[in-house]
Amino acid sequence: MARRPLPRILSTGSAQIARSRDLARAQFARSRELARTAGDSASDVLHPLITITRGLRRLATAGRRRWAETPKDKRGPLLFLVASVILVVALVPYGPLLAVITVMAAAAWQGRDRRPTEPDGPDESQLERLRALYEALVPYFSAADDPAPLYTHGGEWEKAFPEFEFDGTGRVGRLLVRYPAYFTDGEAQARARIEHLLTTKSGRGREYHFDWDEEGNELTVTVLAPLPTDIAAQRFVTTPGETVLGFTDPSGVQRTLPLTHGARQLDVPPVVWRTGIRSTEPHLLVVGQPGTGTSTLLRSIALQALQYGDVVIVEGGSTGEYACLTGRDGVLAVECGLAGALASMEWAATETERRLIAVNRARQAGNPPPEDTKRPLWLLLDRPTAFTHLAAADDRKDPLSLLQVPLRHGRAANVTVVVAEQWDTVDALSDAVRQHTRARVVLGPATAGQLESVLGAPPHTTPVADVPPGRGYARLGTGPVHRLQVPATPDPYDDATSDAHRQAVLELLPERTAPVEAERLTNLEKAEPEPEPVPVEAVVAETT
């Protein structure tokens, strides 16, 4: 059967449409170019007039300012002097013409563009920095069998660094690095070598953010600005179950909080930790050296937790960092000794079991959970491993062993555990603490290996040796690693605290109640006795 040709309108219609579209695009581009050329020509022609007009406006502003600054008793003689000058100029031959020329010249001088001319490209010192970076990357980004190498000794660095910026000190502030496709950017060790090299060559003492684009074979190096360290503790705009750990970079989170910073109002991106029944990271572990802000973070968490719940504080350092919270409304106990720590943690374990049983019975009866199980309970432990040695020497139970029930079943019972420990004793923490604290914070100087061992992932920034107190990294569960700056929450009873920060903490403290009696914890243990003990494991099995 013979194949019939397509109609002409079908065979040539698409070509005509494409030709018309290309013609329209060309006309539009030509029109835009003509408009831009006309605008540039008009700007060049009218530039003297624009300059003179700007100068006349500046002269008029200066005249009004001089008239306003002149005292009232001297304005009459000034007017007489101006009128005399105008009369003399009018009577002199060619006086008005010379006066107009003088005013126009003065206006042209005052209306000139005073902005400093910026160089079109980097200066000689900046060029030397870029060449040094390029030469240093040649051994890592070159191969012997590459027919067209991007990196060669003495090669063109402009192709490897298409974008770059410098800060006020002449050092690199932002750099876009292109690398060949055969570079093993999927290996952590290879990437770490490049990051270390760029950090060393670009300038030490700064934090760099590395953004690897494996698909485009590009690496963006950005110098991070320092986080604010003088934001005082205050009431944050959060909902129940949200705790602000600190502040981070704007690119790390998609939320900001309105804060008071001195006399200004700022919107700062926070690191918000969500706790409660629906939380996936119900407990927190904080690690740092002495003086890095671990106690400051626990005080900040305590002040936020007291808005909606009760707090039990166990301090293993015995430094009195939490004396300001003793006897406050909502603070059940502040313990610094072994006996008090054991009593508080035993009561916390019993309270967790009681809440689980009460919630389970209410659900089986078809009733809502009791009100006393809805109020959050916080256990804040600062250096609890200090009691481990004391308990072993006194042949008593290890306090950390009592954390297993609150850690394992705390989310269902609305109980949150926060543990702060130092680097030299972090290995003494129990397996329950390591397993159930999915939210992690590291404060102070730390190596990349230490950060990865605690956070579970390396940060995308380079840690520095000297950091202010309260500065570190945070990771919530399996999320990204954020830079963190803890709000300034010092001990208000410390003499070294500034008056502004001391007053900010004192305003957040709850009202002081009657002193805590010695038998309070004993009464709490005996409150609402159960007719028959029910194992916690059985309760959890029935609930699930």
92 against 436, higher pLDDT = 436
Q: Does domain 242-543 have CATH number 3.40.50.300?
A: yes
Q: Residue 34 corresponds to which amino acid?
A: L
**Spatial distance between the Cα atoms of 81 and 88, rounded to a whole number of angstroms:** 11
Written as one string, the DSSP assignment of 172-241 is EEEEEEE--TTS-TTSHHHHHHHHHHHHHHH-TTS-EEEEEETTTTEEEEEEPPPPP--PBP------TT
- Report pLDDT for 218: 94
pLDDT digits (tens, 9 = 90+) for 484-534: 999 999 999 988 888 999 999 999 999 988 554 444 444 444 444 444 445
The answer to the question of whether 288 is labelled as a binding residue is yes
7: DSSP letter: P
pLDDT digits (tens, 9 = 90+) for 15-55: 565 566 666 666 666 766 766 776 666 666 667 777 888 88
% of the chain with per-residue pLDDT over 70: 85
Domain boundaries, the chain: 124-224, 242-543
Question: Over the chain, what is the mean pLDDT?
Answer: 84
- Report pLDDT for 6: 46
**Spatial distance between the Cα atoms of 544 and 530, rounded to a whole number of angstroms:** 22
145: DSSP letter: T
- The answer to whether the CB of 269 falls within 8 A of the CB of 402 is no
533: DSSP letter: -
95 against 352, higher pLDDT = 352
pLDDT digits (tens, 9 = 90+) for 114-150: 655 555 567 788 888 899 999 999 999 998 888 889 9
- Give mean pLDDT, residues 264-278: 90
- Give mean pLDDT, residues 413-442: 93
516 against 165, higher pLDDT = 165
The answer to the question of whether 291 is labelled as a binding residue is yes
446 against 539, higher pLDDT = 446
* Among 196-205, 330-339, 428-437, the least confident range: 196-205
The answer to the question of whether 293 is labelled as a binding residue is yes
Pairing of strands 284-288, 415-421: parallel
The answer to the question of whether 498 is labelled as a binding residue is no
